Amino acid sequence: MATINDVAARARVSTATVSRALNGKSTVDPALAARVQEAAAELGYQPNGLARNLRRQETAVLALVISDVENPFFTAIARGVEDVAQNAGYSVVLCNSDEQLAKERRYLEIALQERVAGVILSPVGPSTNVDTLTGRGTPVVAVDRPLTEPSSDQVLVASRPAAQEATAHLLAAGYLRVGCLTGPAGVRTADDRLDGYLDGLRAAGVAPEAALVRRAEYRAGCADAAAAELLDLESPPDALLLANSPIAVAVLQALAARGLRAGRDIGIVAFDEVPWATLIDPQLSVVAQPAYEIGRVAAELLLARIGDHTRQPTATMLAARLIPRGSSRRSLGES
């Protein structure tokens, strides 16, 4: 594999000149520059990024560590990050922690070892630790979920009021026994959505029933059991607030298996807008989170931080939007 030395030899110049010519840094005699370009082309020279980065002590790549590649919410964030990064000349590598602390830790370690310019991550849980990163001067932005030690920028969504609003909406629609199926304890969004749900009950003067609350993993295929438990209760809920879309899939499947119809038999509101929300009958009422926007803002924050390591950490709180559809309407009208 051709190196800068080969190019220099072939162009009969020094390696310094090759470097300058190829990077367009300092000004180089046009004739020499041309010779260099030609030699590089003939040799099919590809600069060794490793060597360059080692020398420069910096990399133009951002790491994005998300907790579930299969969740559309996170892939939408990825798109937001990527668009901003590309514009600024950065590449982004996506790492899937799969909601597993060990994988997450491993990817963060790699990010550190590979000296990426910055990291955006949705922390798997409360014990996620980024001190090694920040300690070494690698800027970190947390998305979706906060870091326990907030020395980093954060871009979150106000889940709790959104969950409260969704609960109030279900109550207002006439449902009496509203339940909640949320994510694992310790995961902030899961706890917030549960708290918001309780807020909603309280505001309406409804006494919460522990039996109507369940937790499940956030990933696909993990909420089946919890969904079944809830629906098969002696006195089951007549409405449900669901904390994300994989959970919604599980519940909707359980509903179908029991011949239950959303809206009429059981009111449903789920977090996260999905492409199929309007394809099901009745249509799925959702709390839409600005996923792409989260990614966009996070990337901007990260780049700003990379440019100025002295910036104070900021916390951005984005709003979620309730989109009421048929699944939270008791009447039989069209979706």
Partner DNA sequence: ATGAAAGCGCTAACAC
Partner DNA sequence: GTGTTAGCGCTTTCAT
Tell which one of 9, 43, 52, 258 touches DNA (CB under 7 A): 52
Nearest C-alpha neighbor of 117 from the set 100, 96, 133, 95: 133
Which one of DNA, its own copies, none interacts with residue 13, CB within 5 to 8 A by kind? DNA
75 within 8 A of 45, measured Cβ to Cβ: no
Using left for φ > 0, alpha for ψ between -120 and 50, and beta otherwise, residue 44 falls in: left
Q: Kindly indicate which of the ranges 7-15, 128-136, 159-167, 261-269 contains the residues binding DNA, using the contact rule CB under 7 A.
A: 7-15
Residues 6+ positions from 9 with CB-CB distance below 8 Å: none
Q: Cis ω on the peptide bond leading into residue 72 (within 30° of 0)?
A: no
Residue 99: CB minimum distance to its own copies, A: 12
240 within 8 A of 251, measured Cβ to Cβ: yes
Residue 124: CB minimum distance to its own copies, A: 15
Tell which one of 24, 44, 55, 308 touches DNA (CB under 7 A): 55
Tell which one of 15, 134, 148, 253 touches DNA (CB under 7 A): 15
Does 27 participate in binding DNA (rule CB under 7 A)? yes
* Token pair for 248: 């919604």
Which one of DNA, its own copies, none interacts with residue 36, CB within 5 to 8 A by kind? none
Does 34 participate in binding DNA (rule CB under 7 A)? no
CA–CA gap between residue 335 and residue 322 (Å, rounded) = 16
Residue 48: CB minimum distance to DNA, A: 3
Nearest C-alpha neighbor of 266 from the set 252, 278, 276: 252
Does 38 participate in binding DNA (rule CB under 7 A)? no
Q: Which residues bind DNA (CB under 7 A)?
A: 1, 3-5, 12-20, 22-23, 25-29, 31-33, 45, 47-48, 51-52, 54-57
